[in-house]
Amino acid sequence: EVQLVESGGGLVQPGESLSLSCVASGFTFSSYGMNWIRQAPGKGLEWVSYISSSTSIIYYADSVKGRFTISRDNAKTSLYLQMHTLRAEDTAVYYCARKKGIAVAGASDYWGQGTLVSVSS
Amino acid sequence: QSALTQPASVSGSPGQSITISCTGTSSDVGGYNYVSWYQQHPGKAPKLMVYDVGYRPSGVSDRFSGSKSGNTASLTISGLQAEDEADYYCSSYTSSSTYVFGTGTKVTVL
């Protein structure tokens, strides 16, 4: 059974940093690209970042480019999101999601339950 | 990148069919066959219902079907059931090598 478990969320002040983790199990993690997707309270989904299986391809949404860094450790079957200079508008539930198939583009077929990041003074 | 446009709400009676539209541009929906649809129940993670415009993942009911014409994609739910009441989001790959989601549609079963 595919499982994705996020952790690391919490309450931080504007300008601070936070690091999220996502531990994967039930599939060959090193063979799949991964996404971070977020959802502000009561709002819609927003794609944040993508990393390919080998880490050779990384993309970011304009809203987080230069502030967030995605990475992965295939040996630990883990995905990470380092977030710096956090803003109130970064407040959201952050989901990690597996990218379906081997192409760079495509749907996210498995999602974790999410971890809440709150940015407030 | 602006969000794809979806109707805020769609409703139908049990057994009926409903269609949710998702309008983008030639740089996203119209340019790629990487349109997907997600179902989200309150407090839950999204669930993939349709990928690559019209393909269903294993385990998803064949009452859900997807299509695309030009810059607009559509999700049709036939034989509407109470359990289909949820929020639905479309998503597309874009020419900027990013993804964009739709504004979301609340489906109500009357």
Q: Could A44 and B103 be called an inter-chain contact, meaning their C-beta atoms sit closer than 8 Å?
A: yes
Closest CA to A30 of A69, A94, A78: A78
Q: Could B38 and A45 be called an inter-chain contact, meaning their C-beta atoms sit closer than 8 Å?
A: yes
Neighbours of A108 (CB within 10 A): 25
The mean pLDDT value for B24-44 works out to 97
At B78, which amino acid appears? S
DSSP helix/strand/coil, A76: helix
CB pairs under 8 A between A and B: 61
pLDDT value at position B7? 98
The mean pLDDT value for B73-77 works out to 98
Question: What residues in chain A have per-residue pLDDT under 50?
Answer: none
Task: Tell me how close the Cα of B16 comes to any Cα of chain A, in angstroms.
Answer: 26
The Cα–Cα gap between B64 and B18 comes to: 10
- List all residues 6 or more positions away from A89 whose beta carbon is below 8 Å from its beta carbon: A40, A63, A119
The partner residue sitting opposite B57, judged by closest CB among A50, A109, A111, is A109
Q: Could A59 and B98 be called an inter-chain contact, meaning their C-beta atoms sit closer than 8 Å?
A: yes
The mean pLDDT value for B33-45 works out to 97
A70, A74, A75, A78 alpha-carbon torsion, rounded to 10°? 50
Give backbone dihedrals phi and psi of B99, rounded to 5 degrees, phi first.
-120, 150
Query: pLDDT tens for residues B5-30?
Result: 999 999 999 999 999 999 999 999 99
pLDDT value at position A6? 98
Strands A115-119 and A108-111 come out as unpaired
DSSP helix/strand/coil, A74: helix
Q: Band the pLDDT of B102: cuts 50, 70, 90.
A: very high
DSSP category for residue B72: E
Q: Band the pLDDT of B1: cuts 50, 70, 90.
A: confident
